[in-house]
Amino acid sequence: MWCGQVPLMDISSSAANQCRNENDSVRDVMRGFVTDTQRTLDEAPLSRTQIIAIALTALMGAVDGYDVLAMAYAAPGITEEWQINKATLGIALSSGLAGMAFGSLTLTPLADEFGRRKMILAVLAVMGLGILLTAFSRSVTELSLLRVFTGVGMGALIPIIAPLAIEYSNVHRRRLALAIMTIGFPLGATLGGFAAAALLQYHGWHSVFLLGAAATLGLLVAAYFWLPESPAFLIARRGPRALELYNDYLRRCGHEPALQLPAPNAEGPKHSSYVTIFAHRQWTVTITLAAIDMLYLMTVYYVLSWTPQLIVDLGHTSAFATMAVSLGAMVGVLASLAIGLIGINVPLRWITAGLMTGLSITTAAFGIGGFSTMGLVLLVAVTGTFLYGGTTAINGLIVNSFTVDSRATGAGFVMGVGRLAGVISPALAGFLFTAGLQRPSVSVMISLCTLMAASLVLFSRQLRSVQGDLERS
């Protein structure tokens, strides 16, 4: 019996070893297959699904660009109809930006918890309803409150779609994908501005908001049917249906499904996303970016909010002012694309600082004035180049400074703090104008903010490790 058991023990041991080896081989195959699916998404040419998704982020940026500027387009008509002074107008202009700051800070972390797609649909619904109701407002107070409500959605939209654009892209086109998303804002300002100028010639300021509502609600329907969840989010969060949704995305892109989710690039956060963006070594980058964005947007929102009214004050019509601003946005589209194409071999910090410096100079020049009609149009166009190109560049720095699992939260915090400047800047300018300061003084003062932002971008030690290389995100 004893001798007969020895072979049995050897057979059992051999079978167990063989089984373990086979299991290891299966795991190796599965691991390799999973790695291959991720590598396929990173290396394969963009599919139609990915191109449509990136295009939708650009259209969302366009809707956001139009909605942000809708109040500026309508401002001359509102001032004339309701007979309000510039201080009151400044508060009305700032009200939507206050909502944007709140939305950036409170809603964007939910995109890191529950998904990019769900939050995009929610904020588009808020924006569409808010801008529709704004068209029927009957007082400055009512209009301002509705702009706050609309702004909550607008504030969350860009911080969510900025990382989403690069998460849809392959590894070679991420910076270009971000640039395409970013050109949506000036594109919406351009096309929407021309449309608003035409509407203002034959209809009242209410029509400006009705157009924005129709565009936003139409995009909500398109996003519901054609916008997939971010594959990077599914990998990072690994929810109950993550593998199912990830495989659905792979199939829509024309690839084979995965047996299991790829391993995330980094361990997911053990705490909330806000804790992550203020963790050791990360908090200094977060605070520095927030300070830069706030200083930069002090000038940006002064230019966006007050340029139409200041052009009217120079003796031009509201339609001319709107078309001039739209031309500046059109040139900004080209500048944003240029950032995506030529910025690959140039440090993004240098590009950002240069564009910010240019915006500071042109804003001061606009205040000093003395331009002919053609000179004014050219100045607005050059300003658009620096403004929208700088926005593309700073967005690149922001989204590349945070990991996937906290990217929307980080972008939302930085942009939310920045948009506090959007609240302050138009209202501050309105009070300064009402107090008797003239356009040259106010413009030069506010232009200095962007010059300080450029200095921080160029010389800040915290940002030297941020290369802006989205290909390695």
Q: Domain with 162 in it: what CATH number?
A: 1.20.1250.20
Residue whose entry in the numeric block shows the structure tokens 């030690």: 461
pLDDT at 469: 43
pLDDT at 19: 47
- How many residues would you count in the chain? 473
Residues 110 and 113: their CA atoms lie apart, in Å, by: 5
pLDDT at 61: 92
Residues 389 and 394: their CA atoms lie apart, in Å, by: 9
The conformation of residue 208, written as its DSSP 8-state character, comes to H
Task: Give the number of other Cβ atoms within 10 Å of residue 332's Cβ.
Answer: 29
Spatial contact of 266 and 403, defined as CB atoms under 8 Å apart: yes
Q: What angle is formed at CA 10 by the lines to CA 6 and CA 13, rounded to 5 degrees?
A: 140
Query: Which class for 83: exposed (0-12), middle (13-18), buried (19 or more C-beta within 10 A)?
Result: exposed
Could you tell me if residue 83 is inside a domain? yes
Residues 273 and 319: their CA atoms lie apart, in Å, by: 45
The conformation of residue 467, written as its DSSP 8-state character, comes to -
Spatial contact of 96 and 150, defined as CB atoms under 8 Å apart: yes
178: three-class secondary structure by DSSP = helix
Could you tell me if residue 26 is inside a domain? no
Spatial contact of 116 and 404, defined as CB atoms under 8 Å apart: no
Residues 394 and 406: their CA atoms lie apart, in Å, by: 18
Q: What is the DSSP string of 26-62?
A: HHHHHHHHHHHHHHHHHHSPPPHHHHHHHHHHHHHHH
Residue whose entry in the numeric block shows the structure tokens 């929102």: 301
Residue whose entry in the numeric block shows the structure tokens 């047996």: 259
Residue whose entry in the numeric block shows the structure tokens 């699992």: 405
Cβ-based neighbours of 408, under 8 Å, separated by 6 or more: 108, 109, 111, 112, 116, 119, 159, 160, 163, 273
pLDDT at 399: 84
Could you tell me if residue 252 is inside a domain? yes
Cβ-based neighbours of 16, under 8 Å, separated by 6 or more: none
Sign of torsion over alpha carbons 174, 176, 182, 188: negative
Structural domain total, the chain? 1
pLDDT at 452: 96
Could you tell me if residue 10 is inside a domain? no
Residues 125 and 112: their CA atoms lie apart, in Å, by: 19
Residues 384 and 295: their CA atoms lie apart, in Å, by: 18
Could you tell me if residue 24 is inside a domain? no
pLDDT at 36: 67
Query: Residue 400's Cα: distance from chain center in Å?
Result: 13
pLDDT at 372: 85
Average pLDDT of each block of 10 consecutive residues along the chain (473 residues)? 42 48 45 62 90 96 88 88 86 84 90 92 97 94 94 92 89 83 83 85 91 96 96 88 93 90 63 75 89 94 85 84 83 80 72 94 87 87 90 86 85 88 81 88 94 93 59 46
Residues 68 and 159: their CA atoms lie apart, in Å, by: 15
Which amino acid makes up residue 286? Answer: T
Could you tell me if residue 127 is inside a domain? yes
Q: Which of 407, 416, 470 is nearest to 163 (CA)?
A: 407
Residues 243 and 113: their CA atoms lie apart, in Å, by: 17
Residues of the domain holding 444: 47-472
Could you tell me if residue 32 is inside a domain? no
Spatial contact of 57 and 116, defined as CB atoms under 8 Å apart: no
Could you tell me if residue 21 is inside a domain? no
